[in-house]
Structure 1
Amino acid sequence: MYITLIILFLSAIFFMSGKVRSDLVALCALVLLIVSGILTPEEALTGFSNSVVIMMIGLFVVGGAIFQTGLAKMISSRILKLAGDSELKLFVLIILVTAFIGAFVSNTGTVALMLPIVVSMAMSSQINVSRLLMPLAFASSMGGMMTLIGTPPNLVIQEALTSAGYAPLTFFSFTPVGLVCVTVGLIVLIPLSKMFLTKKGDKTRKGKKNKSLKELAGEYQLFQNLCRVQVESKSPLAGKTIQELNIPQRYNAGIMEVRRQSSSSRRHFFKTMSQEMAAANTVIQENDILYVLGDFSNVKRLAEENALKLLDTHTAEGAVESKSEELEFTEIGIAEIVLMPASNLVNKPVKDSGFREKFGVNILGIQRKRQYILKNLKDEKMHSGDVLLVQGTWENIARLNDDPSDWVVLGQPLAEAAKVTLNHKAPVAALIMLGMVVMMMFDFIPVAPVTAVMIAGLLMVLTGCFRNVEAAYKTINWESIVLIAAMMPMSLALEKTGASDLVSKSLVNGLGSYGPYVLLAGIYFTTSLMTMFISNTATAVLLAPIALQSAIQLELSPFPFLFAVTVAASMCFASPFSTPPNALVMQAGRYTFMDYVKVGLPLQIIMGIVMIFVLPLLFPF
């Protein structure tokens, strides 16, 4: 028992110091428990197969998809409209929305859903994201106190009461307690978050080296020279390849890309607009939307002579709203390359460059001595030092890096591609997310929450809400996963050695003679202390029968004492590993262990003091 307590104490010291990564500290503690013989290897590794850990992995993937498809940005923009220019109003809205969702969905699931939305809001409104994410995690736990299914400790005390022959609690028996938790949380978090959570980083990024895709498009006037035309049924272009049409020679314009509605192409389970490069062998089909680069007069002549409909800037493409001046770079991107003096392309006209044939990319413009050459490109000869704006699929642009002797690719186009949201997949991500929430909310659906999350994560990948599987893996925060998985067996070690039983019984039984309020305070803060080191569910399981028996022996109602157990187990904020939501936001908010102590510990203490006086009012002794 003493060895376990020493390992726990040392772990807490290292967590607070912040000099060693938290996941490494947790792994070291786990290894020490195995080496000292307190836990077997099988027992020590149970955390890595725990359903909560598996659920966290799946929720990272779901959250990443919500961000990658632009769904987070859409939802956040609506919340921002409600908040206006008020940072305080935005803070309150985030707390209230998160608490409401947390009443019906697990707090881990709530944070995973809200995390990308809140990050997107912070970026849009230039608010420091560190101020919002820890309160977000706390609000999900507060919301869990609203309903019977909100958090596992609620179900634990329900089981303890019914086993002892008491009337079962109703679905909304917890709502008054939850409302008090949210109110206290809001009042306390507003000043604490401002004092301790706004010191990290700048609100906006400065000194950015790489041009964004939008900046590149604006620099080369792509928005001004880009028009969209739709192929109508009687158009002579339908059924012909782009090479056969010979549009550059006939109209001095070029087709950049083709978009068409697709319901069966690879990775498209739902009808969306597909975006593809205008290759020489691309066959034009009826209702295709062609993106044409050239003078408006030339594009207008092309449309009039070939029965094409010239689209205005507000026409919707299928189910996806898009404006012609807003190029999308989901599958096709742009990048700059600089021609080297020894390049074979020097003094060659653009039409003989072979870029399209060899690499599948088009040259859209040339920057030469701060002058931009954007028209009649096919006959323009390229010079040493020219900067070429090229367009192609992201894979083909990446291939340009394979030939550094002829040119150098500027910036990091693939990094820019990773930032582009797949907006056309937002409805798909929304449907999957909604399905996951429904499966987690209703007990009559025979699907476990962890299964619902795994299904949702898999569907996000299969339906193309990520560019590839690797992108999905990159959304998983492995430091948080390892931290939680490695610390979970600590509760087993404390139980196995009798440490948790000794601490809980001695503290609670020693206070019974001092009156119900002192006993209630003892139960509450004992639960609160233990939850800082072992999971809230395990703590509730340990202390619920002790609280029940203590109340019965003193001939008092067990309800306030059992509610003290569940509230204290759920309202644990002073540690990043006391609840999964706290761990989920740790990396994204760049928090240290001490940040949780500075903000979470005062909130935890104040919440406890309030509950000691409120619970007897709601559930009399």
Structure 2
Amino acid sequence: MLIVFALDRIRMEVVALGGLGLGVALGLVPPVQAFAGFSHPAFITVVEILLIVQVLGHSAILDAVTRRIPVIAPTEIRVLTVLCLLTATLSVFMNNIGALALMLPVVTSVCRVTALDSRRILMPVSFAALLGGLCSVIGTPANLIVSSQLADATGTGFTFFDFAWVGVPAALAGLLVIVTWPRRILGSKSTGAGRSPPQSFRTVVSEVQIGPRSPLAGTPAADTGLTIHAMRRAGENILFQRRGTRIEAGDTLLIEIGLQELEEGLASGAMLLPKALHSSANTQRVEAVIMPESVLVGSRIGALEGLASRGIGIIAVATHTPRIEGSLADLQLSIGDVLYLTGDPEAIGEAVEEADILPLWPKPQSEAAESHWAPILAFAGGVTFAAFGLAPPELAFGLVVFFLAATGSLNLRKGLAALDWPILIMLATMIPLGLAVGSTGAASVLAGGLMTIVPGQSALVLSVALLFVAVVITPFVNNASTAIILGPIALGAATAAGIAPEPLLLAVALGASIDFLTPIGHHNNTIVMGLAGYRFVDFIKVGWPVTIAVIGAATLALRAWWA
């Protein structure tokens, strides 16, 4: 299953369900336990946190902060530091995807006001969300999972801030690197006060018509300098790759072009949008990103009835999909794609909420809400209950969800429908398989193999070994799956070595959650890749020093506090 996950050819929830079915068929998972993952405390807590984040996201909780950042942080490095610290702090108390979702509009707004290149900001902010999640039991699903595994093995799980003894030093080391190192690798410098931020990095796919006075008319297709994916004339496809084929006025081109270049072409009349996308007095343009839970993931643009029925058009898409052909309507959407929408502001607001896409700029009128303190105070109360051991996390945040639903702040029907169910199904179905790793003796066998490879049997040596194994696996496999599989192995190794299991499980959770080397190992990285137009290699260039710093700080913290 780990291999199939890494290949990324089949949807993750399908792989997980197929693996669970095979496990039941082979007798590895008892039939009565097949769907026990849906009642597991880790699964329930993740669902509750995601529901709470939905409510917090609709309030104007961060609007005041957005206005203050350019004032208190006049330089680029200060802006980056404030944004990363704020993101990491939010991620301590909520799922790291939720923390990034709250911060993306803030980052977009701040970059526009301060004229900073968002390429230099988005990847560090994504990394900061992952780092903040290391510090509490609810910061990432991996922490919840290893805490549940410890509770099953010893009767007592980790407390809310047990992870902070290792997570805080690791997060601070990582934050120190990400506010200095990426500036050497990513983007250009700020453009200066009062000027527009650089947008040339953003490459989009758009379908345009050549205007009658366009300088492109009469130009050979091969000499335009544009990346042309398709060409139509009078409704018929043209083989534009044929030598000597020239572009004529009225031709429709499917092109890949810099966003700024597209805007200039539209402004000059060299390129025209389809008639259905022509602006009117009450038309607004909105930039929005497709989040993991969006119903648009996997859909083709031509099949988006929720947008078309409201008169909303798509001007362009910033996508990392490698296969682009046919027409814009044939383009298949994926996580992190950025849509440039045009239409009535109220209609766009409704469509954004229905499709679970995140508006970046400007904020639709339907989301412009006053700050509501009741949900924030309720969430703070849940954190307090969980942090001081007054209630387990699943009960503490269950009470918060009940309060939000009872006061009308949360519509449970809509909230549950908006959850990222592929990830949740994968988590719930992997939990029984993780239990099978322990109950069938597989964990003991694998732990025995680890003991023969790793020199010595000290808690620190075994913890570091498991940390490295998790770091190697997690770029290719969801961090929850990594923790589910490695957790029983850590428990088996602790039993074989006669040591406490806590440091080994902490190392597993930490290693599973520090994916800074690829854009595919964590949804946060996938999202910002689409937003900023990063390449795969950019994550390696920026992520390797962050990974080394975090591993080094975590090793020292494990030695000092746990091992």
TM-score norm. by structure 2 comes to 0.54
Q: Deviations over 1:198-220 (max 9, x none)?
A: 9876798978866797979xxxx
Contact 1:527 1:540 in 2 (8 A): no
Matches of 1:32 and 1:157, distance apart in 2: 23
Q: Which of 127, 134, 151 is the equivalent residue of 2:126?
A: 134
Cα–Cα, structure 1 residues 89 and 484, in superposed 2: closer, same or farther, change >3 Å? farther
From 480, 485, 510, give the equivalent of 1:570: 510
- Shift of residue 181 of structure 1? 0.5
Q: Distance in 2 between matches of 1:210 and 1:33?
A: 56
Select the residue among 144, 158, 163 that pairs with 2:136.
144
State the Cα deviation string for residues 228-263 of structure 1 (Å, max 9, x = none).
xxxxxxxxxxxxxxxxxxxxxxxxxxxxxxxxxxxx
Per the alignment, residue 314 of structure 2 pairs with none
Closer/same/farther in 2, CA of residues 437 and 110 from structure 1, 3 Å limit: farther
Q: What letter matches 2:130 in structure 1? A: F
**Aligned mates of 1:50, 1:192 — CA distance in 2:** 39
Task: Rate the CA distance shift 1:566–1:122 in 2: closer, same or farther, 3 A.
Answer: same
Q: Percent identity?
A: 16
CA contact (8 A) 2:23 2:29 kept: yes
* Alpha-carbon contact 2:434-2:485 (below 8 Å) kept: yes
Alignment of 1:216-227 (within 5 A): none
C-alpha separation between the residues in 1 aligned to 2:24 and 2:154? 38
Task: Identify the match of residue 73 of structure 1 among 63, 77, 80.
Answer: 63
Distance in 2 separating the partners of 1:60 and 1:145: 15
User: In structure 2, how many angstroms separate the alpha carbons of the residues matched to 1:38 and 1:608?
Assistant: 35
Partner of 2:422: 479
Q: How does 1:390-401 map to 2 (within 5 A)?
A: none
The CA deviation string for residues 121-164 of structure 1, in whole angstroms up to 9 with x for no partner, is 123124368525631442123323999xx95589689989999x
| Structure 1 unaligned spans of 5+ | 1-6, 217-335, 338-409, 553-557, 577-581
What residue is the counterpart of 1:8 in the other structure? 2
Task: Check whether the contact 2:24–2:30 (CA below 8 A) recurs between aligned residues.
Answer: yes
2:489 matches 1:546: no
Name the structure 1 match of 2:384: 438
Q: For structure 2, list consecutive stretches of 5 or more residues without a partner in the other structure.
A: 112-117, 189-200, 205-257, 267-276, 286-309, 312-342, 354-363
Separation in structure 1 between the aligned mates of residue 202 and residue 443 of structure 2, nearest angstrom:
37
The answer to whether structure 1 residue 59 and structure 2 residue 3 are counterparts is no
Q: Distance in 1 between matches of 2:159 and 2:53?
A: 32
- Classify 1:78/1:412 alpha carbon distance in 2 versus 1 (closer, same or farther; 3 Å): closer
Q: Does 1:502 align with 2:445?
A: yes
Aligned CA-pair RMSD: 5.3
Distance of aligned partners of 1:8 and 1:36 in 2 relative to their CA distance in 1, 3 Å threshold: farther
The answer on 1:416 being equivalent to 2:349 is: yes
The 3-state SS of whatever aligns with 1:71 is coil
- The offset of 1:520, in angstroms, is 5.8
Contact 1:83 1:89 (C-alpha < 8 Å) held by counterparts = yes
Cα distance in 1 for partners of 2:81, 2:129 equals 14
Deviations 1:369-413 (A, max 9, x none): xxxxxxxxxxxxxxxxxxxxxxxxxxxxxxxxxxxxxxxxx7463
Does the 8 Å CA contact 1:540/1:566 hold for their aligned counterparts? Answer: no
Shift of 1:83: 3.8
> How do 1:598-613 and structure 2 match up within 5 A?
598=540, 603-604=546-547, 607-608=550-551, 611-612=554-555
CA distance in 2, matches of 1:50, 1:159: 12
In 2, Cα distance between the equivalents of 1:171 and 1:452? 11
Q: How does 1:319-398 map to 2 (within 5 A)?
A: none
Paired residue total: 395
Is contact 1:184–1:607 with CA below 8 Å preserved after alignment? yes
Look up the match of 1:124: 109
Contact 1:188 1:603 in 2 (8 A): yes
* Distance 1:432-1:213 versus aligned 2 partners, 3 A rule: farther
Aligned-partner Cα distance in 1 for 2:489–2:28: 19
CA distance in 2, matches of 1:170, 1:458: 23
Q: 1:434-454 CA deviation, whole Å, 9 max, x = no partner?
A: 33333332223x4x3223333
Deviations along 1:34-53, whole A, 9 cap, x unmatched?
44443344433222332322
Deviation at 1:612, TM superposition (A): 4.4
**Which residue is 1:96 aligned to?**
85
Selected match of 2:174 from 185, 202, 219: 185
Deviations 1:515-538 (A, max 9, x none): 997656435435656775745377
Cα deviations by residue, 1:553-582 (Å, 9 ceiling, x for unpaired):
xxxxx68x9535413432323669xxxxx8
Q: What amino acid maps onto 1:141 in structure 2?
A: G
SS at match of 2:433: helix
1:548/1:415 CA distance change after superposition, 3 Å: same
What is the Cα deviation at residue 433 of structure 1? 2.8
SS class of match (1:572): helix
Work out which of the residue numbers 41, 45, 48 in structure 1 matches 2:38.
48
User: What is the CA-CA distance between 1:28 and the residue it aligns to?
Assistant: 3.4
Decide which moves more: 70-79 or 134-143: 70-79
Indicate how the Cα distance of structure 1 residues 42 and 533 shifts in structure 2: closer, same or farther if over 3 A, else same: same
- For the 8 Å contact 2:447–2:492, the answer to whether it is kept is no
Deviations 1:314-348 (A, max 9, x none): xxxxxxxxxxxxxxxxxxxxxx99xxxxxxxxxxx
Which amino acid letter does the alignment assign opposite residue 490 of structure 2?
Answer: L
Report how far residue 169 of structure 1 moved. Answer: 11
SS of alignment partner, residue 571 of structure 1? helix
CA distance in 2, matches of 1:170, 1:490: 25
CA contact (8 A) 2:34 2:432 kept: yes
Q: In the alignment, what sits opposite 1:224?
A: none
Label 1:511 to 1:194 Cα distance change in 2 as closer, same or farther (>3 A). Answer: same
Q: Distance in 2 between matches of 1:585 and 1:12?
A: 17
Distance (whole Å) between structure 2 residues aligned to residue 161 and residue 43 of structure 1 = 18
CA positional deviation for 1:502: 1.4
Offset at 1:540? 4.5
The answer on whether the counterparts of 1:118 and 1:132 sit within 8 Å (CA) in structure 2 is no
In the alignment, what sits opposite 2:294? none
Displacement of 1:605: 5.8
C-alpha contact 1:39 1:493 (8 A) present in aligned 2:
yes
Q: What is the CA–CA distance in structure 2 between the aligned matches of 1:454 and 1:620, rounded to whole Å?
A: 31
Residues of 1 paired with 2:136 and 2:407: CA distance?
A: 31
Comparing 125-134 with 583-592, greater Cα deviation is found at: 583-592
What SS does the aligned partner of 1:423 have?
Answer: coil
Is this contact kept in 1: 2:5–2:15, CA < 8 A?
Answer: yes
Tell me if structure 1 keeps the 8 A contact 2:160–2:388. Answer: no
Matches of 2:458 and 2:402, distance apart in 1 = 54
Which piece of structure 1 moves more, 529-538 or 49-58? Answer: 529-538
Code of the aligned partner of 1:143? C
Counterpart residue type for residue 393 of structure 2 = P
Please give the per-residue CA displacement for 1:564-608, whole angstroms capped at 9, x wherever unaligned.
Answer: 5413432323669xxxxx86747755689x899857787556544
Question: 1:60, 1:475 within 8 Å by CA — same for their partners in 2?
Answer: no
Match of 1:456 among 390, 397, 400: 400
